[in-house]
A and B are shown apart, each in its own frame.
Chain A
Amino acid sequence: MTGSWCVAVLSAVLSASPSETQTGPIPALRDRLAALSPDDPMGYFLLAEEVMHEMQGDRGLQLARTLFVLASVTDRRSSVPQGLTAGAALALASISSSDDERQWLLALIEPGSPRRPARVDDALQEEASLNAAEALSFARAGDAVALHERLRSDDVYRTLRRLGDEGASAIDLLERASDRAPCAACRNRRIIKSQIADTSDDVYTLCPICLGNPGPAYALRQYRETLAVEALLLGAQGESWSAHDWLSSGRAALEPDLDVLPEHFGVDPDRVRWNDDPISEDPLDGVWIR
């Protein structure tokens, strides 16, 4: 039963990724949301699939995630589970923007042989990861010209978004670094040239503004964060605990436990009924209630 669901959902997911789907409203979405009941977990699942394929944007994705999680929760609580959890986890993995999260979701349903999901664009992804790591390096060095060059492609930001919170803070850091002007005195050359009076000889001195280091001054915490993001991008781990601490910022691995699923996606497993806002025109205006 579970296996057939996995196959069905996987094929549905593979046949149409969100970026390829048509856009457009879902008929009677408001009514269908209101009709959802924990007695019918399949209702959550089917609507989640439809939302995932038909609705674009963050709100649509968020609703799809919530519905998949609720499908899993209600099915597991059901007296006759239909094995929807595996399908829900696969679907959630297909719309996940994080490699770690995707691997974790697969481990939830296949704990015996967790594996990194195979990707056809692994080589491209590695190149994009390296570009993102080097972009961070340019940001630290205050080399805005080289940083702009790296940021021309969307790859860097897209790659960083896959890292979740760490990626988001790195994007913020890159945006600020790309707006930063070079050192006013030395133009990031570290030294300045001047002529000795009454002679034609040039003399070099360290830049009086940046004192030879034109990069932005990062606090220790910021510096560690950039190293941790680079480590994530490049797969650096460190051999010792101390080295690993510098490269991971003490982050915990996700636990392969289905009970964590709702909390991970910010879903309250007890709020399973949709209460829409009758005044709003937007069918997504509403809250989940007990």
Chain B
Amino acid sequence: MSAPRPIRTFFSEVPDGADPFELLGLSAQPCDDDAVRAALDQRLARLAQHPQAHSPDADEVRLVLHVACAQLLDPLLRREILADRAARAQRTDASPVVRLPTASSIELAALHAIASSGGWNETARRRVAALLHAEQIPLATLPSIISAVGARVARERHDAASGARYGAIPALDARAARSLQQRHRARLFTKWVLLGAFVLSIGSIALLSMMLIDSYQRSVAYEQEGERRAEAEQVESGTAAMPQEESALTPVAEKASPAGTASKQAGERQRARSADGLIAPAPTELAATPIEIDPNSRAWLDAATVLLEKEPFASQTDEARLQRVGRLARLNQAAAYVWDAAADPRDLLISLDPAPSRIQAAASPVDDPATFTAPGVPPDGTLALELLEVRRGKQLDSQAFRGRRYGHLKLGPVDCDVAADSALFGSPHELRLIAARIVLDQSSNPAMIHALLEALPRAPKSDSTSELVMRVTEQSVPSIDDPSWRATCRRMLLERLAMLLGEVWSSELDALAGWIAQSYDAQARGYKPGMSSGSTVSTPAGTLPEAPAARLFDRWMREIGGLRSAPGDLEKITRIRQKREARLALARGPMQRFAAQQVSCAEALALLVAIETPSLAADVERVTSEALAIRARAMRVIEQMEIAEHTISRLWRIRLSREPERREQS
């Protein structure tokens, strides 16, 4: 079920696809500016008396009314809208044809919105989205409309310099170029150049140009299609027009060729990849989907359904759980991109493929901690025997020992045990030095660090011990006079051992940490065009997601701060911050610290959605409290992470669908 259209909630008499005249309740006749302004005032006054006058939907409708007013205050555009309306009525009488958006009017209104918002920013994005919503144009066409606006501005800029208008449109065929010339020539000098200069002056052209590059083909195809349809209608007088039902199912971009064909193929490719775990809102689908939720959101919601409802929670290994955390984090990154109105659908192609799985092949038998305490396996023990013989009085053949190098092989646990013993308290002194060198050669061998750890309680409190620990762990050691010296040396060796064992046996955790860090970082930064190119490049293993999660929390808090808050919101904000501090104080280690940040992000997002859409607050509260109660009882940190990330995905589903979550979905 989709949300009711806001405009119909407040003005039930306004028909679907209403033009600015209908939105303002004006008859389709020439009128002056005063009449337009009076109509706007009348509409706003009526809106103010509505029970939902203070809802976000009401704000959206106000925006739409203002945009309609702005359109009608432009005499040129007013005439064009009247002409479009007359033509539409004529077409409706003649034969049922698909209604294509009147690109020029939408683009003009979009440019008005952008210009009046101070450039392409969050406000402009919302205004244009509201405009499209009111015009019942899929939000997915936003990129092409903005691109078209940018294209005009850029062309004007180029033409002003070269003196050859339209010469900078290489992909356009001659007929289309002529059509475009005829269509736009009259107003380009007066309107676009002036407004374009304004947009240029506020620095928006860079962003618009970036978008233009990616969607240029689509915007050209869109223009061509409009011209061709107009020509065909003129020639065939409506007899060859496509039946409305069929047309409605045919994507606009698909009808346009050759770019439309290419777009269709791309869409099919993307759909195919979708089955392999990619979120792929194909452009062709986006343009055709007759729903109120914008197609990018719909594509995301479909992907979310798979991840949120089809994958089991219970009876999973830690590794499987963590893989799921990674995929959910990616899904949430895509949601954030959709929310941030990613201009290019390609930017939403975010890989959900699992990160590299456990790398056991790299582990050698001597890395297995189970062998550290097991009886030795020959040839392990050969070096140990030589060292022990010397300690029992056998003549030390220092030349023979010094000639050997151990860095290229991994000694076994028995050899490591005796070498570490000998390095710390072996005798004679020269044997200690030789053994110390062996220890340093093996400082990346977990068995050697284990051996040092076991030998340390019996080691003398000396500078040589300090130096050995310092060189093996590559960290500074407190002075031997420091009361914490023994404990610190032991802790450092323990952390070194865990690091080496983790690299061999749990490297997938670091890969997933980097993966999750990337998703959180992308969400914290917010969408910028072209970001997708970086989103599929894995971050270095070991990159921790803790800091990006903290930044994302700050982002949600900033956005909450920018909204009109209700009584009690401040208390909720304080409580979220306090719980976050408490969690961080209780957390030990990077995984627990991330889990603390992550669940705080979930709470902050929940509050943000609840404040944004008060009608959904109860549902958001239910989803969050239920899930976090389960999380609070989880005994394993990865389970906590999975529950929190899953909750974030559910919150995104509510935010993007603008609907309460169905009970069975949870």
A residues engaging B (CB < 8 A)?
100, 103-104, 107, 111-115, 123, 126, 129-130, 133-134, 137-138, 140-142, 146, 189-191, 193, 204-206, 209-213, 215-220, 223-224, 227, 230-231, 234-248, 250-257, 259-260, 263
CA distance A69 to B565 in the complex (A): 36
Interface size class of B (residues with CB under 8 A): 35 or more
Given contacts A204-B388, A211-B377, A252-B640, contact A247 B498 (CB under 8 A): yes
Q: Residue among B456, B509, B638 with the most chain A CB within 10 A?
A: B509
Residues of chain B with a CB closer than 8 A to A255's CB: 583, 631-632
* Cβ distance B324 to chain A, nearest Cβ, rounded Å: 15
User: B649: CB under 8 A from chain A?
Assistant: no
Known: A238-B499, A241-B512. Is A223-B457 also a contact (CB below 8 A)? no
Residues of A within 8 A of B84 (CB): none
In this assembly, does B503 line the interface, its C-beta being within 8 Å of a C-beta of chain A? yes
Residue among B490, B503, B505 making CB contact with A130, cutoff 8 Å: B490
Contact yes or no, B590 A237, CB < 8 A: yes
How many inter-chain contacts with C-beta < 8 Å in the A-B complex? 242
A residues less than 8 Å from B585 (CB atoms): 103, 107, 114-115
Q: A240-B499, A244-B591, A255-B632 are in contact. Are A235 and B586 (CB under 8 A)?
A: no
Q: Which of chain B's residues have a CB closer than 8 A to the CB of A115?
A: 585
Q: What are 10 A-B contacts with C-beta separation under 8 Å?
A: A103-B585, A107-B582, A107-B585, A206-B385, A215-B373, A230-B494, A237-B495, A240-B502, A252-B592, A257-B628
Q: Are B632 and A211 in contact (CB under 8 A)?
A: no
- Of A191, A213, A248, most buried by chain B (CB within 10 Å of CB) is A213
Nearest chain B CB to A233 CB, angstrom units = 9
| Contacts known (A220-B368, A253-B583, A256-B582); A238 close to B457, Cβ less than 8 A | no
Residues B392 and A220 in contact, CB atoms below 8 Å apart: no
- Closest chain B residue to A219, Cβ basis: B370
Which residue of the partner chain, among B378, B484, B490, B502, contacts A211 with CB atoms under 8 Å? B378
In the complex, A213 Cα to B581 Cα: how many Å?
Answer: 47
Q: Which of B375, B454, B498, B629 contacts A238 (CB 8 A)?
A: B498
Quote the shortest CB–CB distance from B507 to chain A (angstroms).
6
Residues of A within 8 A of B484 (CB): 126
Asked whether, in the complex, the Cβ of A140 is within 8 Å of the Cβ of B373, the reply is yes
Q: Is B408 an interface residue (CB 8 A)?
A: no
How far is it, in angstroms, between the C-alpha of A255 and the C-alpha of B503 when the chains are bound?
29
Give A231's nearest chain B residue, CB to CB.
B494
Closest 3 CB pairs of A and B: A242-B502, A242-B506, A212-B414
Q: Which residue of A lies closest to B378 (CB)?
A: A211
Residues on B with beta carbons closer than 8 Å to the beta carbon of A239:
495, 499, 542, 590
The residue on A at minimum CB distance from B574 is A112
Determine if A248 and B370 form an interchain contact, defined as CB atoms under 8 angstroms apart: no
Q: Is the CB of B376 within 8 A of A212?
A: yes
| Minimal beta-carbon separation of B647 from chain A (angstroms) | 14
Contact of A206 among B376, B587, B638 (CB under 8 A): B376
In the complex the two chains form, what is the Cα distance from A103 to B389 in whole Å?
Answer: 52
Among candidates A219, A220, A246, A250, residue contacting B502 with C-beta atoms closer than 8 Å:
A246
Write the chain A residue with the least CB distance to B392: A204
Cβ of B502 and Cβ of A248 under 8 Å apart? no
Kindly provide the distance from the CB of A70 to the nearest chain B CB, expressed in whole angstroms: 19
Residues of A within 8 A of B380 (CB): 211-212
Within B594-634, the residues touching A (CB, 8 Å) are 595-596, 628-629, 631-634
Known interface pairs A236-B495, A251-B636, A255-B632. Does A241 touch B591 (Cβ–Cβ under 8 Å)? yes
Determine which of A189, A210, A219, A246 lies in contact with B498 in the assembled complex, contact meaning CB atoms within 8 Å.
Answer: A246
Contact status of A246 and B501, CB under 8 A, knowing A223-B373, A256-B582: yes
Q: Known contacts A240-B499, A250-B637, A253-B592; is A111 also within 8 Å of B578 by CB? A: yes
CA distance A160 to B513 in the complex (A): 31
Interface flag for B24 (CB, 8 Å): no
Contact present for B589 and A248 (CB under 8 Å): yes
A246-B510 Cα distance, complex, nearest whole Å:
12
Question: What are the residues of chain A within 8 A of B375 when measuring CB–CB?
Answer: 209-213, 217
Q: Which residues in A have their C-beta under 8 angstroms from that of B413?
A: 213
A243 near B495 with CB under 8 A, answer yes
- In Å, the complex CA distance between A144 and B170 comes to 86
Residue of chain A at shortest CB distance from B451: A141
A189 contact set on B, CB distance < 8 A: 388
Contacts of B544 in A (CB 8 A): 240-241
Chain B nearest CB: distance from A226 CB in Å? 10
CB neighbours of A210 from chain B (8 A): 375-376
Q: Which residues of A contact B417 (CB under 8 A)?
A: 190, 212-213
Do A111 and B579 contact each other (CB < 8 Å), given the known contacts A206-B385, A241-B512, A252-B639? yes
Q: Which residue of B lies closest to A260 (CB)?
A: B632
- B562 close to chain A: CB less than 8 A: no
A223 adjacent to B486 (CB under 8 Å)? no
